[in-house]
Amino acid sequence: MVTRRSIDCVSETHCPVHNMQAQINCEKTTLDNGITIVSERVPSTQSVGLSLLVDAGPADESSDHSGLAHLCEHALFLGTPLRDQKALTRLIDTAGGQLGAFTAPDYTCFYAHVLQDYTSYAIDLLGDILVASSFPEDLLEREREVIVQEIRGYEDMPSAILSQRIKTLLWPNHGISRPVAGSVDSVRSLGRSDVVQFLSRHYTPDRIVVAAAGAVDHASLAEQVEDAFWTLRGHGTARETEQPEPVGGIDVKEANSGQAYFALAIPTESYTNDHRYRLHLISALLGGGLSSRLQVKLRDELGLVYFVHTELLAYRSTGCLLIEGSCSPSALQHVIELILIELTGLAWWASPVDEEELWKTVMQVRGQSQLATDIVSNRVSRIATQQFHFGHRVPDHEILESIDSLTIEDLQQTCLEKLAPAINHVAIAASTPTENVESVCNDLTALRDCFVSINNDSSTL
């Protein structure tokens, strides 16, 4: 029998149901086989959100096995000796809940959202697929073709394509720039033995976090996880986190579309960096809302875009500030130039943040943070990813206090120290319905070179 070691902590969190301060217990248990269990009981909820996060993903693949981690995620739903594929899907539908999975650059996540009475049901199902999946050859071959359709589907999604191309421009010599799903050729080359070896090597209990939130009792949860995963043994091999060197550049491709789609990015820092709250605020004030700088300038004042948005992407080893949107093909160069002006002006504090803009953005970001925990599935996702990246739960009140404490001087320091040097590595990708792609690429290259040159001159002043 696997024994348990428990650590309990209490964090003050706002309880939206009662509109009052309530204590939400964050409890943590580590099973003897290495599985970490973290949970929070949320008052007045009837459902439970589960997140099983495995520290295994594309970073563990070799370049000639691109897409293997993602194939493994799919393969785990092909059935076990106890339940075939149809039984797996039928069982979760019967519970009136949701069950799914996704592969991220740093990890793989399996999740469920069920009514309280079906918690043990969902845990048993997750344990069954992770411990006893059989990977029938015929079903695995079919699933490879399902993934091929998934990859081809991404080709019709401009945002997904540009996001991938941006990563390739920023970090061309690092695994993080490879497509999570792989390529059509790489997926079709993967076999059952590849799946079995990858799971055996990387799906070890010391790499697994099981998180739960909602109407959950931690002691009961720990017992259920223990029963479902007690046969899982082994230890993952140690790996070094290699921080990729950013490069940047231009990538323009012809697209069969009515609009030009674009993405710009500059490298930032990893998920756990000390500037993370500042960077979230900078992202929000630049393009994270209806009153953000890019939204006001490009849409409200000039009418050049329908959509423009800024997002902070953060991974284990690095991150980036991503700006994406769409516009008329004839306006593409002008729009990108205006974005670079706004970005450079903020980075070098030529367009500083004032008290009103700081207050507005703080209220926006703290509100988004609070709303996220109002939904059980979002709360459990936060619990799991924090345990993965930090090794502990960051209490909600600490997050809000960190956001509230930010000053104009803090943002200025981060802009000058982090954003300004990063402009030298700016990456710009675009898909536009023009046959003269080479001309567009040359124009954007000249524009990028101009801003990088100005940026270098400014750094010497």
Average pLDDT over residues 43-55: 94
The Cα–Cα gap between 226 and 359 comes to 47
The whole-angstrom separation of Cα 128 and Cα 261 is 43
Pair (359, 387) in one structural domain: yes
Same domain, 321 and 290: yes
Task: Lowest mean pLDDT of 81-85, 199-203, 209-213, name the range.
Answer: 81-85
pLDDT value, residue 2: 41
Which H or E run contains 135? Answer: none
Confidence band of 460 (pLDDT split at 50, 70, 90): low
- The answer to whether position 240 is within a domain reads no
Question: Do residue 222 and residue 260 come from a single domain?
Answer: no
Confidence of residue 238 (pLDDT cuts 50, 70, 90): confident
Q: How do residues 172-193 score in pLDDT, each as one tens digit?
A: 988 889 999 999 999 999 999 9
Q: What is the pLDDT of residues 376-430, one digit of tens each?
A: 999 999 999 999 999 999 999 999 999 999 999 999 999 999 999 999 999 999 9
CATH of the domain at 295: 3.30.830.10
Mean of all residue pLDDT scores within the chain: 91
Same domain, 270 and 185: no
Same domain for 191 and 306, yes or no, is no
Q: Are residues 150 and 205 in the same domain?
A: yes
Say how far apart CA 210 and CA 118 lie, in whole Å: 16
pLDDT mean over 262-273: 96
Residue type at 226 in one-letter notation: E
On whether the CB atoms of residues 110 and 101 are closer than 8 A, the answer is yes
Q: What is the pLDDT of residue 12?
A: 36
The upper half-sphere exposure of residue 199, i.e. CA atoms within 13 Å in the direction of its Cβ, equals 21
pLDDT of residue 23: 61
pLDDT tens per residue across span 64-75 = 999 999 999 999
- Do the domain assignments include residue 182? yes
Give residue 8's pLDDT band: very low, low, confident or very high (50, 70, 90).
very low
Looking at the structure, tell me whether residues 264 and 201 fall in a common domain: no
Q: In the chain, how many domains are there?
A: 2
Same-domain check for residues 170 and 210: yes
Helix (H, G, I), strand (E, B) or coil at 155: coil
| Res 14: pLDDT | 38
Mark whether 83 and 123 lie in a shared domain: yes
* From 226-235, 256-265, 450-459, the region with the lowest mean pLDDT: 450-459
Same domain, yes or no: 192 and 71: yes
The domain boundary, picked from 229, 260, 287, lies at 229
User: Max CA-CA distance within the chain?
Assistant: 69
Report the pLDDT averaged over residues 295-324. Answer: 96
Asked if pLDDT for residue 202 goes beyond 80, the answer is yes
Q: Is 244 inside any structural domain? A: no
Classify residue 64: in a domain, yes or no.
Answer: yes
Residue 293 pLDDT exceeds 70: yes
Decide if 287 is inside a domain. yes
Whether the per-residue pLDDT at 17 is higher than 50: the answer is no
Q: Using one digit for the tens of pLDDT, what is the confidence trace for 102-161?
A: 999 999 999 999 999 999 999 999 999 999 999 999 999 999 999 999 999 998 888 889
What per-residue confidence (pLDDT) applies to 278? 97
Domain boundary among 178, 201, 229: 229
Sequence-distant (6+) residues with CB within 8 A of 45 are: 17, 214, 215, 376
**99 located within any domain:** yes
Backbone angles phi, psi at 84, to 5 degrees: -80, 180
User: Which of 179, 198, 229 is the endpoint of a domain?
Assistant: 229
Would you say residue 18 has pLDDT above 70? no
291 lies in some domain = yes
Q: Flag whether pLDDT at 304 surpasses 90.
A: yes
Q: How far apart, in whole angstroms, are the C-alpha atoms of residue 406 and residue 350?
A: 20
- What phi and psi, each to the nearest 5 degrees, are found at residue 113? -135, 115
Same domain? For 225 and 259 the reply is no
Asked whether residue 85 is assigned to any structural domain, the reply reads yes
Residue-level pLDDT at 461: 58
How far, in Å, CA of 246 to CA of 185, rounded? 27
| pLDDT score at 457 | 79
**Strands 47-54 and 108-115: what pairing?**
antiparallel
Give yes or no: residues 284 and 346 share one domain.
yes
Cα radius of gyration rounded to whole Å, the chain = 23
Strand partners, 307: 326
| Domain extent at residue 204 | 4-229
DSSP bridge pairs for 54: 108, 208
